[in-house]
Amino acid sequence: MRLDITLITILVTGAISFYTLYVDQNLLDKLILRPFRDSKEGNYYTLATSGFVHADFTHLLFNMLTLYFFGRHVDMVLGPLGFMGLYLASILIANLVSFQKNKTDANYASLGASGGTSGIVFASILFYPYSKIFFFFIPIPIPGPIYAILYLAYSYYASKNRQDGINHDAHFYGALTGLAVAILVQPLSLIAFVQYVLGAFI
């Protein structure tokens, strides 16, 4: 029986998120990324742990649904170890950027698996460029490569404005990290992706 690393990741993240939300919120605060506090106290473990806790059930549901729909595609190509390596690298790099940019802001905090799920989505688009993506509340399927461009453009713009309390840096840099790791591990996938895009859109 093949290890379903996507489901395991969802179950582990869900269990930690539920426990910290509804049982032990003191633990939640310890696991959240707070760059100002963490740089003073040397709590660098939050670069990873903040990816396994969430602000509320809706936040958790959105990230885990994304992981469910895209994770298995990446697992099929990279296997369980490759999947986890890409997922954790996306969380860590995205959070490291947030850490460096906000370590003088005593009020800044970040949590959630968005960096990791963004990395998984972009790896999936690289491996399966012909896939169509249905975005929430938009009933029109969006070609994967076009979705990727729109996602990066919006995340970059939103990170500059920072008006909605969402860590768009995590989305942007998590996506780029996932893409970079996927290309590094499967370099031929980039050639296939470019060939598909040239044939389909040009």
CATH code, 72: 1.20.1540.10
pLDDT band at 199 (very low <50, low <70, confident <90, very high): confident
Would you state the pLDDT for residue 159? 85
Would you state the pLDDT for residue 56? 93
The DSSP secondary structure of 3-14, one letter per residue, reads --HHHHHHHHHH
Distance CA 140, CA 22 (A): 37
Would you state the pLDDT for residue 138? 67
pLDDT in tens, 126-175: 999 999 887 766 678 899 999 999 999 999 998 887 766 788 899 999 99
- Tell me the average pLDDT of the chain: 93
Q: What is the mean pLDDT of residues 71-98?
A: 97
Would you state the pLDDT for residue 166? 82
Residue indicated by tokens 């998984």: 120
CA 19 vs CA 87, 104, 184, 197: distances in Å: 22, 30, 36, 44
Distance CA 201, CA 198 (A): 6
Percentage of the chain surpassing pLDDT 70? 95
Would you state the pLDDT for residue 13? 98
Would you state the pLDDT for residue 201? 67
Tell me the residue range of the domain where 64 lies: 5-200
Residues 111/33, Cβ–Cβ less than 8 Å: yes
Number of domains in the chain: 1
Would the pLDDT of 46 be above 90? yes
Whether this prediction's pTM lies above 0.85 is answered by yes
pLDDT in tens, 109-124: 999 999 999 999 999 9
